[in-house]
Structure 1
Amino acid sequence: MADRRSAIRQAALRLFAEQGYRSTTMSDIGAAVGIRGPSLYKHVASKHELLAEIMIGTMEQLIADNTAAVAGTDDVREQLRRSVEAHIRYHARHRLEAFVGDREIGSLEQPDQERVLGGRSDYERRFRELIERGAAEGAFHVQSARIASYSILDMGIGVASWFHEGGEFSVDQLAYQYGDIALRIAGARPPVVSYEESDPAHP
């Protein structure tokens, strides 16, 4: 049952990405996995249930990846880099989820739409607060932390639109380069090196 449910979700994801949520029918989804008519409803209640599951799952995974990325270091530059690398890796590896999540927010019914929008706000806030903290510590220099965070987050959907495995860059290479770009967007300044750290002769 779990395997069949997963296959149905993947088929729905592909169809939502290819032809749009509103143009996809339950019959289309059933045909994609070889299930006819009423039998499909033994596994899933509605097309909307599948969309909500996909979009909520996407936000939950992005937030979980972000939480893991910033753990283990207090350096705000490194936290921003790791956050961006996780963001880019997700969008490179889950292009269909990213595409559907970006395009179909208006197709979600309440309360699922509000849940996804709340997750988006939380996710953006995590980047913005890193930039604000970095600016307060003198590590970053920006006119608007919010615009900087939006600019960084927009890079993800851009990657999802063009990246493919086997191209010029691996996912990790891509993530590292986008980390560099994000630090420039945040106006990253080189860390202050103390006299003791800079003088090799110092005991």
Structure 2
Amino acid sequence: MPSHPPERPVTPNGVARAAAIRHAALELFTQRGYAATTMADIGQAVGIRGPSLYKHVASKQQLLVEIMVGTMEALIAEHDAAVRGTVDPRERLRRATEAHVRYHARHRHEAFVGTREIRSLEEPNRSEVLCRRDAYEQAFRDLVQAGVDCGRFHVTSVRLASYAILDLGMGVSVWYREGGELSENEVAWQYGEFALRLVGAPDAD
């Protein structure tokens, strides 16, 4: 199945309806899982019956792809914005980690579906999403490697260090809730500290 269906004319109402359909699909994929969710379920959630839903979306697979590709594109964009404006390896890693944590605190369902439903993607969609995931992991690996190269970070394995930092942030989506004991800012700052300790970075001057 092609990952990009034929384009349809887009109107303001159409954009809003498409966003509502994606949101409903995300909620249902989170609650029931991709396999157990039907297009009829999604249509019912947004008040659209049967064939009318296909005027807005080609398939359930397309919805999953849009959710997962959108998640990765958002993560990559926020990472790039976070590290822009500084060349200091320590500060770049802190900012990238904080952006990673903030995204997972704010988008728990996207994180859950992105992890669990990679198995549900068909080719070439699966490879497309995995390529973006690899690029995002590589961005963290490059940050850690830059710190090692200039003698600021000290790790046995750059790859394992980058995986550990990513796992830290992804775990936030499991337990973090607004209004809890710690604010998003406190969690993001503390996880930035965890990342710096993990790579053996010295305290800031």
Same fold (TM over 0.5): yes
Counterpart position of 1:64: 77
Counterpart position of 1:50: 63
* Letter matched to residue 8 of structure 1: I
Task: Please show how residues 1-203 of structure 1 align to structure 2 within 5 Å.
Answer: 1-190=14-203
Which deviations, in whole Å up to 9, do the C-alpha atoms of 1:114-146 show, x marking residues without a partner? 111111111111111111110111111000011
Paired residues, what number? 192
> Which protein has the larger Cα radius of gyration, Structure 1 or Structure 2?
1
> What residue ranges of structure 1 are gaps of 5+ in the alignment?
194-203
Q: Distance in 2 between matches of 1:50 and 1:121?
A: 21
Q: Distance in 2 between matches of 1:162 and 1:14?
A: 18
Provide the identity percentage.
Answer: 61
* Letter matched to residue 79 of structure 2: N
Counterpart of 2:201 in 1: which secondary structure?
coil
Which deviations, in whole Å up to 9, do the C-alpha atoms of 1:71-92 show, x marking residues without a partner? 0001000000000000000000
1:19 CA drift (Å): 0.8
1:170 CA drift (Å): 1.5
User: After the TM superposition, which segments of 4 or more aligned residues of structure 1 sit over 3 Å from their partners?
Assistant: none
Q: Distance in 2 between matches of 1:157 and 1:175?
A: 12
Contact 1:11 1:32 in 2 (8 A): yes
Counterpart of 1:104 in 2: which secondary structure?
helix
Counterpart position of 1:196: none
Which deviations, in whole Å up to 9, do the C-alpha atoms of 1:1-41 show, x marking residues without a partner? 11111111000000001110011000110111111111111
Tell me how large the CA RMSD over aligned residues is. 1.0
Contact 2:104 2:173 in 1 (8 A): yes
Q: Distance in 2 between matches of 1:185 and 1:141?
A: 9
